Every structure is written in structure tokens, then in C-alpha cells.
A and B are shown apart, each in its own frame.
Chain A
Amino acid sequence: MEQYLRNLFLMSVLLYVLGAAASALIYFFKKPYKTSMTGSVMVNAVCIVASGLGGAASAAKILLAVNSLKLINLSSTIPFISLEMNLDNLSAYFVLALSVLVFCVSLYSIGYLSHYNGKRNIGLFNLLYTLFILAMIGVLTSANTVCFYIFWEAMSLLSYFLVVFESEKEENTKAGTVYIVMTHIATALLLIGFIIIYSYTKSFALSANTAAIPGMAKNIVFILFLIGFGTKAGIIPLHIWLPHAHPAAPSNVSALMSGIMIKTAIYGLVRFVLCYLGVQNTWWGVVILILGILSAVLGVAYTSMEHNVKRLLAFCSVENIGIILIGLGVSFIAFALHHQIIGSLALTAALLHTFNHTLFKGGLFLGAGAIQYATHTKNIEDLGGLIKTMPLTALFFLCFSLAISAIVPFNGFISEWLTYQSLFASILPGHIGLNFLAVLAAAALALTGAMAAAAFVKLFGISFLGLPRSEQAAKAQDVPATMMIGMGILAALCLGIGLFPLTMIKLLDKVVFSVGGGSISGQLRGGFLLAYYPLTISVNSISPLTFMLALGVIILLAFIVIRIVGGKYIERRYGTWDCGFEALNSRTQYSATGFSKPIKIVFRALFRPIRKTIVEGDSQYHPEAIIYSTTVTSIFEDYLYEPVYRALLRFSRRTKFRVQTGSIHNYLFYIFALVLLLMLYNRFA
């Protein structure tokens, strides 16, 4: 059985490699457009099959196999460098999420890439894309830290190339720079953490016993990992690369980056802190919980201010990472206090939200890509009325919006409900500070949900409803069928998990059991696919399917009663009420800026909005045009990064004159001095 699964998984990896090789061929031989397009379809088809196999193997692994699968074990003569890959439950779970997303994104890419039609080398894109997926699989299955580090670095670099893929725009290269700097700082910290661990355990293997590490070193390693993984995950205040990089990357890549790449950081935190180091202090969890609350609230606050579709979604990822971290924080606290059940519940919530976020955020980015594909703009102020020209895209987008706002009957609600339940369960007599924190986290979660709904009402309402605000929006046409199917599968999954939460949670329970040693299956009742059984945690239960049925019945009854009482439905189409002025047009509609203004005013202390009014014309009193613009200050960039950046610049300028003089003799002297010092150190240490 295990052998069989192992082969299945390896086959999927092999297929990805094949895909990569094929795209490399297309890239190097620079085939004419038509062939390269066919090639691209083939490569994407290979990715679809590969992800199907990989996903199936991972799901089967979680459900059927007990031991972790040893995928590859190649050692070399160079010490420590050995390629070891294992697939245990945790890895399999993340690979499953990856596979589902890759499956849909590859389908979507078949249609989406056609807009690079002759402008770009699609071979190169596909090469980077497949390698990126491979690197992520590598990260998720590495069995030693060296391997993990190499794949992590590969993942970061490949995603950098993908971010700057449309390099003709200056802002994209700038975004890439921000991204690569942030991600490398993070990687450096991770490396330091790995080396500290090695210096105590003398082993790079992830199965090594970390009991030998003293408490202080563990604390330091935890902080390094938190910052390192936190940067990749985009927790506030390390999030600044997200809103730059996501809009710059092609939409299918942003879907992968936001959907799964930032989740590798969550994987890293669970893998390295929970499984590898073991949670030893309560304050670890507390720090994560506080960061989670901050990220969720501030992330959603910035989400509601954005008018660029993809920047909005990027900030929303920050918010959702915050929600995941709230669950993770509670679980770390509970594990540190040896409350296995609460810990498992919270971990289930966090991991389920990870999966859910993969689905709906991936879907939203695909939807954003579809909008961009159809209208060539990312600014929602130029959109409007797309629901009439792109009905299916609009429907899927609505599903994702509901899911991300934690509204029944979609999957976002299930994971937020579990998070609430874990917060609720974690309030126990005695832990005063923790109790307050849990209450605050619940309040933050509520605020986040409502603000996210506000932001997505704006995003959906302004871009899909009303009248088109620009030429392109009016002329938009619906996207190719493959793109639609890609989004449709994700939307169906969102609804499916929302209606049948137990399927996912039973699967997840095995993962959590293998990670935390606790299981909530005792708390779960009911059958596998049977909808009648609600999701029950201790005495609280929800049943979204029953709700849906009730909703359907009520709608039907209302419809019938009204039909009987009121007779046939007679509709008269007429213009929107315009107060008699007869001047309603797309410019008189509410704009996105106007929509979010109340929230901007309420939280002005946070946003520090700046507004500019420029009057054009001969005199102020006879304006020909008035240009009004308003922006929100990004306090983290302005008050946290900007000073550091300036200080660095100053320091570098100074060193240019004092240290980096350009004289060879000076440099030789440095080497001389350094070797001397090293010799001395060797003597005395």
C-alpha cells in the first residue's frame, strides 16, 4: 500500500519535471507562437495530471497510511548534503492543498496565457511555473533542514522571477526588489536558526531529538523562525512586500503565491516550532496570538481602503494569515499548558482556514486575473456592470467573496467558527491574561469578518454591478471556458466544504493527531458524508446544510405564498430613480473611494488620509477640471521601514568613504587583519 502511494506521488513529481523540461525546450528553441501555445497547453495539461496524482496520493496517504512515506533518500559524499524527502500527514495535507490549487490554476492558465500572445516567451513562463511548483513540493516534503533551506531559497527566487515576469513595467521590477530583499532577510534568519539547532543536536534531520537544546537557545530560535516565516507569511509589520508583489505578478502566479506559497510559512511554523522544537513556553503562543490579532485587524483595515483589485486581495491575505495565526497561537498556548484537546481544536481551525484560504484566495486572484484579462485594468474605479457581460465570473467571484467574509454556507465560516470555538474553549478559570487575550481575539475576529464583508461588498459591488465606469469595462467579454472551469472548481469546493465540513475535518483530524497527539474526533459526531449530522464541538453544533435546506424551503414557500396572494409577477422595467434630474450616468454612481470613506473617517487615526485637490483652469473660480485624489498613508512603510532604510543608506554612504575606499592595499589589509584575528580566536577559544 505505502509503496504504491509512494510511487504514485513520485510519478506526479516526475510529471512536473517532465513539464519543466518540455517548457525549457520550448523556451530555448523559441518556437513560433502557435507551436509554443500548443506546447503551453500540453505543459499545463501535464501539470493538471500531475497535481491530480499528487493530490490523490496525499489524500490517500492521510486517510490510509500510518507511517510517513520515504519518498527519496539520496546521500552524497559531501557531508550533510543529502536529498531526503518524506511525506508525513502534515506534509501531505499541505501538498493536497497545493495540488488542488495547482489543478485549478493550470486549467485556468491554458486560457489565461493566451493574452501573452506573441508578447512574451510562454516557454519561459511555464518553465518558471513548473519549477516553482516543484520547489514548493520540495519545501513541504523535505526531511532535513539543508534540503528545506535549498528548496525554500529556490521557491523564493523562482517566485521573484515570476513577480518580475512582466518586467516592462517599472513598478513590477520595483515590487520585485522589495520582495527579494524582504524574503532574503527572512531566509537569512531561518538559516541562523537552523545552524543554532545544528550546533546543539549535531544533526540536520527533522526527526532529530531537540531535547538537548537549552531553553534560552530555543527561545532565540523561535524568534528567528517567527520573523523568518512571518515575513514569508506576511504578518504585520513584515507584510510590506505582499501588496507590492501580488499585483505585479501575473494573476495565476499571484493565486499560487497567495494561495499556497505564503502558507508554506504556516507549514514551517507548525513543522519547526510545534513538531520539531516543541512548544515549551506559553509566551510563544501569546506572541503569535497578538501578532495574529494585529495582522487580522490591520490587514482588513487596509483591505477596505484599497482600490486596486490585486492590492486589495494582497492585504486580505495579511488579514487571513492573521486569522490563521490566531488559531495557531491558541493551539501553541494550549499545547504549552498541556490542554491537548483545546490545542488540537485550535490547530484544526488554523489548518482548515489555511486550506480554505488557499481555495478562496486562489479563486479570487483568478477572478481578478479574469477581470484584468477582460478589461485590462486592475483599478476598480474603472470597472462596473461586469455582471452582465461576465455572468459566470461574477457568480464565482460572489461565491469567493462570501466565503472570505466568513458567511454561511461557505467554507470560510466553518474555519472561523472553529476558531471561535477554540477561543471559547480556551477561556478557563485561572489564566487571567490569556482569558483577556482570547476575548480580544474574538472581538478582533468579529470586526475582521464584518470589515472583510464591507471590503468585498465594495469590490464585488463596484466592479461587477451598476453601470460600467470606462470604455473597457463596457466592452468586456467573458473569459475563455478553461479559465471559467478553473474558477468554478474552486468555487464548488468552497461551497462543498462549507456544506459538508465533516469530510474535511475528519481528514484534518488525522493530521492534527499526528502533529499534536490530541484528537478532536471524540468531539465529532455523525457520519462521513451525511449532512444531517451537524458539526459538533462539545455541546455546540452547526449544520450548514440544514441551514441551506431551510433557506431553500423558506424561499420556495415565500415564493408560492406571494404567487397565490399577489397573483402573477408583473414587472415594469424603468430607469433608476434620479430625483427627476434625468442625468444618472456611470459618473453619478457611488465610487469605491466614496464607498470606503465612512470607514476611512472612523479609522482616520490609523489611515492618516491625505487628500489633494487640484483645480485646473484660469482661475480658482472658473475651474475647467478639478482633480481630487486621496491616499492612505502606509504607516508601517513610512514610520518603520523608511527610517531604517534611510539609516542604512547613510551608513552605506559613510562606509563608501571610510571602509570601501577602492584601494587594493586597504582590502588586502582587511584580509590580513581578519586572518590574524581568526588565528588568535582559534588559539584562545
Chain B
Amino acid sequence: MNNIVYLLVQLLVILLVAPFVNGLIKKVKALSQKRKGASVFQMYFDLYKLVKKKTVVSNVSSWIFHVTPYIVFATAMAAALLVPVSTKILPPQIPGDFIMVVSILALGRFFLMIAALDTASTFGGMGSSREAMISALIEPSILISMFTVALISRSTSLPQIMETVQKVGIPLAHPVYIMVGLALLIIILAETCRIPVDDPATHLELTMVHEAMILEYSGRHLALLEYGAAVKQLVFMTLFVNILIPQDQLIGVIGLGALILSLLIYLLKVILLALVMGIIEVNTVKLKLFSIPNLAALSFILAFLGVLQFLILGGKHV
């Protein structure tokens, strides 16, 4: 029973909120440029339109090209199932931890990268090659920052980590969490192809990474890829908000009311983070490609300092 409720809540929340978050960030950018901008719900319409459209497929491509959108979307969703949006409805055991989440997302990315090479397009190759570099550089800091919070709760399972955070009080005022939080913020920007690393708004050769990889896609395939990217973004954001700003200690009782309240607070946090991300994107410039290693090194150092603080504190577990 618990399992089913958990699954349903996860699926619904992630599926419904993900495009909205994307719209919100776009709105923030538009407003900052004194534009009215598209509605925050624009992505839902876009997805619907894309699904309706006919699909153009390159005549060079193979079956890899066709299966990739499904795999990318499904891996993002499967990863989303392992990152609880609220700790009020945890099933007894979740069959995966953060290492698994990273690996699942790697599966999606692997297919995306080879699909980009499948069409013999130069743009695809370029995006794929850049993505390979960026992911290689950012992976250690993801692992180390999650490793750090996992060490505090003595478990690599995400629900466990999120439950531990409830006992910390204010994680943002905790020496370890604050470092991890900063590292995670950089990771989110890199993983979701946001501005210092990539520019989601353009198809220019100079900036494109993610957009170049999906350049050949159209119709329902594109819809799945866009949706998958939005879900992946929300997964990382959920990870961030539920580790750095836990909500459930505020609500003591277990039950439907508490669950809804907890989800509402979760939504609020996500909106807040989306605003922050939008503001960051407006206020930073796109780094040149070979400055990204410095950014990755920065996030790695932050995560490493987090581990250090944990060890300096004597390896205390909560």
C-alpha cells in the first residue's frame, strides 16, 4: 500500500511540476530582460504540440536513434522514483541509493551521446564530445558531495539521508551541509545545462552542448527528450531542496493532511530554487568551454571541504 502511494505521489508530482519549473526559470529570465515572456505553463503546450507533430528522422540513423528518447525519459523518471519529494510517505525500502541514481542517469546520458553520433551530424558529435567532457568533470563532485551527506547519516540511501537532515536543525547553518549545498548548486547548473556551462536558449555552435545533441530530433522524440531533461532537472533540484531545506520536521503528524502540507512546502521550495536559478542565470555569463574545468574543480573543492569538515568534526553521525 505504502509502496503504491509513494509511487503515485512521486510520479504525479515529478511529472506535473517538472515542465512548470522550466517555465518559471524562463519567466524569470524574460522579466529580467523587460520582456513579458511566455506563460509559465508554456512547456505543457509545447510538449502537446510536439507529440502531435510528424517526426523527421535522418536517413543515416539506426535503431539507437529511435530508442534513445524513450530511454532518456525513462531513466530520468526512474531516477526520480528514487529521490523522494517528501519523507512523509516512505516505503519500507527503496531499491536504490544515490550511486544508483547517478548510474541510472549515466545510462540515459550514454544513449543520448551515442544517439547524437548516430546521425553523422557534426553538431551532434560536437555536443556529444562536450557533454562527455563536462560529465566526466562533474561526476566526482556529485559523488563526493553525496558521499558527504551520506557519511553523516551512515547510509547511502536517499530517504535515509533526507530523514537524517530533519534532525540537523537548519542544514544551511551546518558547516558540512553548507559546503555540500554550494557544490550541489554548481552541479545543478552543470547537469541541467544552465548558463555558466551551457545555454539552453540557443543553438549556436559556440554554446551548444545539450541542444546540439538533440538537434536532429523532432516530433514526439523531441517531446520525450525535452520532458526527460525537465524531469532530470527537477530530480537534482529535489535533491538540493530536500537535503538543504528539509521541511518535514515542521509537521509532526503522519497522515494525509501532513502529506499534502509537506508537498505544498516542497513545491514552495522548488519554486524558490527555480527563482534563484533564474536569477543566477541572468547574472552570470556563459563560460568559455575550457573554463568549465575550473568551475568543476570549484565544485569538487567545495564538496571536498565538506568531507573535510565532517572529518574535522570527528566523524560525528547524527
Contacts and interface: CB of A to CB of B under 8 A. Distances in A.
A539 B144 contact: no
B58 A408 contact: no
A542 interface: yes
Given A539-B157, A551-B74, A602-B137, A584 B132 contact: no
A576 B156 contact: no
A446 B144 contact: yes
Given A443-B144, A543-B95, A550-B81, A595 B114 contact: no
A86 B63 CA distance: 50
Interface string A551-587: 1001100110010011101111111110000001010
A590 B104 contact: no
Nearest to B104: A408
Contacts of B139: 446-447, 449-450
Interface stretch (B147-155, B246-254, B265-273, B278-286): B147-155
A572 B157 contact: no
Contact of A598 (B70, B102, B133): B133
A427 B96 contact: no
B22 interface: no
Contact of B121 (A408, A453, A569, A576): A576
A571 B94 CA distance: 39
A480 to B, nearest CB: 22
A506 interface: no
B220 A589 contact: no
Contacts of A572: 54-57
Given A576-B119, A601-B290, A540 B143 contact: no
A466 B123 CA distance: 13
For chain B, what secondary structure do more than half of its interface residues adopt (helix, strand, loop), or is it mixed?
Answer: helix
B100 interface: yes
B155 A570 contact: no
B73 A599 contact: no
A154 interface: no
Interface in A157-198: none
A540 B290 contact: no
A69 interface: no
A667 interface: no
A457 B114 contact: yes
A590 B74 contact: no
Interface string A458-476: 1011100111000000000
A546 B81 CA distance: 11
Interface in A190-231: none
Interface in A527-549: 534, 538-543, 546-547
Given A417-B100, A565-B51, A538 B155 contact: yes
Given A407-B103, A541-B157, A574-B57, A387 B62 contact: yes
A450 B136 contact: yes
B109 interface: yes
B289 interface: yes
Given A442-B144, A590-B129, A407 B74 contact: no
B216 interface: yes
A554 B57 contact: no
Interface stretch (B165-173, B174-182, B307-315): B307-315
Nearest to B54: A570
A308 interface: no
A596 B144 contact: no
A74 to B, nearest CB: 49
Interface string A13-54: 000000000000000000000000000000000000000000
User: Interface size for chain B: under 10, 10 to 19, 20 to 34, or 35 or more residues?
Assistant: 35 or more
Contacts of B123: 577
Nearest to A387: B62
A454 to B, nearest CB: 4
Given A439-B307, A446-B140, A461-B117, A543 B129 contact: no
A577 B215 contact: yes
A451 B107 contact: no
B162 to A, nearest CB: 14
Contacts of A577: 58, 121, 123, 215-216
A569 B155 CA distance: 45
Interface in B44-76: 48, 51-60, 62-64, 70-71, 73-75
Contacts of A435: 311, 315
B126 interface: yes
A550 B114 contact: no
Given A446-B143, A589-B122, A574 B56 contact: yes
Contacts of A271: none
B95 A599 contact: no
Contacts of B57: 571-574
A599 B94 CA distance: 36
B99 interface: yes
Given A442-B147, A540-B157, A547-B96, A454 B136 contact: yes
Among B99, B156, B215, B220, the most chain A Cβ lie within 10 Å of the Cβ of B99
A602 to B, nearest CB: 5
A584 B144 contact: no
Contact of A602 (B95, B97, B118, B293): B293
B2 interface: no
A597 interface: yes
Contact of B70 (A407, A559, A601, A602): A559
Contacts of B160: 539
A522 interface: no
Among B96, B116, B151, the most chain A Cβ lie within 10 Å of the Cβ of B96
Contacts of B55: 569-572
A558 B224 contact: yes
A305 to B, nearest CB: 13
Given A407-B107, A447-B139, A466-B120, 19 more contacts: A385-B60, A401-B110, A446-B140, A449-B139, A456-B110, A460-B114, A461-B113, A461-B117, A465-B120, A466-B117, A540-B157, A541-B94, A542-B99, A543-B96, A551-B74, A558-B74, A562-B220, A565-B48, A570-B55
Q: Which 9 A-B pairs have CB atoms at the shortest separation, nearest pair first?
A: A590-B125, A543-B95, A461-B117, A454-B132, A429-B315, A446-B143, A450-B139, A598-B133, A566-B51
13 contacts: A401-B110, A443-B144, A457-B128, A461-B114, A542-B99, A546-B96, A554-B74, A570-B54, A572-B55, A573-B57, A574-B56, A577-B215, A589-B121
Interface of B: 48, 51-60, 62-64, 70-71, 73-75, 77-78, 81, 93-97, 99-100, 102-104, 106-107, 109-110, 113-114, 116-126, 128-130, 132-133, 135-140, 142-144, 147, 150-151, 154-157, 160, 215-216, 219-220, 223-224, 289-290, 293, 300, 304, 307, 311, 314-315
